Structure 1
């Protein structure tokens, strides 16, 4: 479906296409720039090319796009939640969050997710398909066009497991970073994974200076298996070994995401074990308050417990922050709005 999508091609791939068409390489550079700097969605809009060349491109290629199905604006903190409709009518979510330093977009890499984390709404309908690199880019471009801004940071933490869509995600990162495109620094990009160990090793070999974020959520292997099925495939020891390899290879600090769930992973023994397994690692812990969903009948930890975790981890020499809750009045957590929208559409 997206094999002929010009938005999904790297610059080198674009050059090969144009040379095969008997064109000079600089035409490929012009086209790449127009698509990724001007963020156009039609070959007809690449006005730097002649009409005849555009007609020739139109015979075999297109530029994928997504459309805004709905946008929700938070009255609390100016967070904006997007439901995007893909060309095949599937729905994905993205969020734009405003901070002092700029606006961060949290974007999706798959339609749905197969990882099955117990407390995540995105995974409840399973995985439908991967997003192409062009569709991932389109979330960035549509948000920028809609808000008339340049995003300062990108977080691959929306629906889907980025490392389960490895090739398209790597291509997305490289296109977004390309100086002929958005030229966004790798250091302004965060990739979040639930812990697909083989792909962490593979990502380490790329030596990209992005931030790798690991969804940890329990320091005990058996408890982690109960809330995160990925732990049945890769043990905590295997995950931490992969993290050590990644740190040594990239010299980049890893962020560990830890969602605090009352009487599940917020006990003193959880805190002590978390401190033990992370001590000495080049890492940072991001403490998150649970965002309850219907299918996971557990409560969030109280604020005093979260503060205690932060205080004690800091004493252990582990840098830690408490994630600020954004867009709570518009269900800004992943998966919730998409499921409501699909349910509404099914009943029309």
Structure 2
């Protein structure tokens, strides 16, 4: 017998449809959502201004549940990675990234959460730990939201910035992602502004086309990591199905009608994509897309052969992009001392469980 659906996975539209079907008004739906998201109750009995019959109806059709927090690892840079266990035993990792200083130099209240969208990943980027164990399944809407609730318990403050850059390809889990986004952005949900949410894709073109039709102004980051098909074919298998000749037009379609610049995420890997020629190819793509570039020196993953370029090589690459008048930043991976790159903690835990060692 399947468990009851989570009340925290219900969009306002879905909850209203359910209550209307059972003879209740829109006002009652608003009351329920207020209890769930403003007052953060965890039982239906706690919803004191609802009639007993409605509480019973809700309890018969929905439930509360937050994933079990299995491990928390703190970093010297205040980043915290945590591992949660889903009800089927699947392990999912998320990362809390506090911003110490705001743009005006004062103490920042921003708390960013890096959220996973799948258990594992099917896309198998050669430098990433998430795909080493393959894809197990999509995360449900409730499991995506559950990561945010768990993070707020750990951080003891509200998460106000979301990046879908954890395990998995968010756009291949689009339906569950879309419902999660509605709950996250709704003023009767978590009420996080769309421009404080970033979705990262490895280049899943069908999902990009769906996102282009999505009405909210969600930010987009593209895990490019190679500015030619030759390089992307080597490190990103997704490129063999959707090469740059398909990816770039899909990104142009997403940009059309939006006052937003996509971000090109580019992990610098020694002797793979860090040459001056690679920088020139990247500049051409960034200019075509009116994009900004985020350079990330590779965060070493045990068992994989890729190496981090020297600091001098990274700076030289950044300067070449900057000289071409492309907005560019160099972002060093948070939590390097706690293996905060996608999938590393889950990979280690699964290997411990199976009695194996890293490849």
Q: Which category of TM-score, normalised to the shorter sequence, fits these structures?
A: over 0.9
How many pairs were matched up? 347
1:2-21 → structure 2 map (5 Å cutoff):
4-21=5-22
Partner of 1:204: 212
Q: Which moved more, 1:338-347 or 1:163-172?
A: 338-347
Q: Which moved more, 1:281-290 or 1:24-33?
A: 24-33
Partner of 1:33: 34
Give me the whole-angstrom Cα distance separating, in 2, the residues matched to 1:196 and 1:251: 22
1:46-125 → structure 2 map (5 Å cutoff):
46-74=47-75, 76-99=76-99, 100=101, 101=108, 102-125=110-133
Q: Displacement of 1:280 after TM fit?
A: 4.2
Cα contact 1:41–1:65 (8 A) shared by 2: no
Q: Displacement of 1:176 after TM fit?
A: 0.8
Q: Displacement of 1:281 after TM fit?
A: 2.6
Partner of 1:275: 283
Instruction: Describe the superposition over 1:125-155 as per-residue Cα deviations: whole angstroms up to 9, x where unpaired.
Output: 1111111111111111121123221122110
Q: Displacement of 1:288 after TM fit?
A: 0.6
Cα contact 2:170–2:200 (8 A) shared by 1: yes
Which of 143, 164, 179 aligns to 1:171? It is 179
Partner of 2:24: 23
Q: Displacement of 1:267 after TM fit?
A: 1.2
Output the aligned Cα RMSD.
1.7
* SS of alignment partner, residue 68 of structure 1: strand
* SS of alignment partner, residue 127 of structure 2: coil
1:297 aligns to 2:305 (yes or no): yes
Cα contact 1:279–1:316 (8 A) shared by 2: no
1:235-250 → structure 2 map (5 Å cutoff):
235-250=243-258
Instruction: Describe the superposition over 1:16-58 as per-residue Cα deviations: whole angstroms up to 9, x where unpaired.
Output: 1112222222111111222223334443443443344222222
Cα contact 2:276–2:320 (8 A) shared by 1: no
1:153 aligns to 2:145 (yes or no): no
Cα contact 1:205–1:249 (8 A) shared by 2: no
Give me the whole-angstrom Cα distance separating, in 1, the residues matched to 2:43 and 2:88: 17
Q: Displacement of 1:3 after TM fit?
A: 6.8
Give me the whole-angstrom Cα distance separating, in 1, the residues matched to 2:39 and 2:87: 21
- Specify whether residues 42 and 113 from structure 1 end up closer, same or farther in structure 2 by C-alpha distance, changes over 3 A only: farther
Which of 316, 319, 325 aligns to 1:311? It is 319
Give me the whole-angstrom Cα distance separating, in 2, the residues matched to 1:257 and 1:3: 39
Cα contact 1:287–1:322 (8 A) shared by 2: yes
TM-score, length of structure 1 as denominator length: 0.95
- Specify whether residues 136 and 240 from structure 1 end up closer, same or farther in structure 2 by C-alpha distance, changes over 3 A only: same
- Specify whether residues 210 and 65 from structure 1 end up closer, same or farther in structure 2 by C-alpha distance, changes over 3 A only: same
* SS of alignment partner, residue 81 of structure 2: strand
Cα contact 1:39–1:141 (8 A) shared by 2: no
Q: Displacement of 1:232 after TM fit?
A: 0.7
Q: Displacement of 1:347 after TM fit?
A: 4.4
Give me the whole-angstrom Cα distance separating, in 2, the residues matched to 1:25 and 1:277: 48
Give me the whole-angstrom Cα distance separating, in 2, the residues matched to 1:231 and 1:115: 10
Q: Displacement of 1:64 after TM fit?
A: 3.5
* SS of alignment partner, residue 104 of structure 1: strand
Q: Displacement of 1:106 after TM fit?
A: 0.4
* SS of alignment partner, residue 257 of structure 2: helix
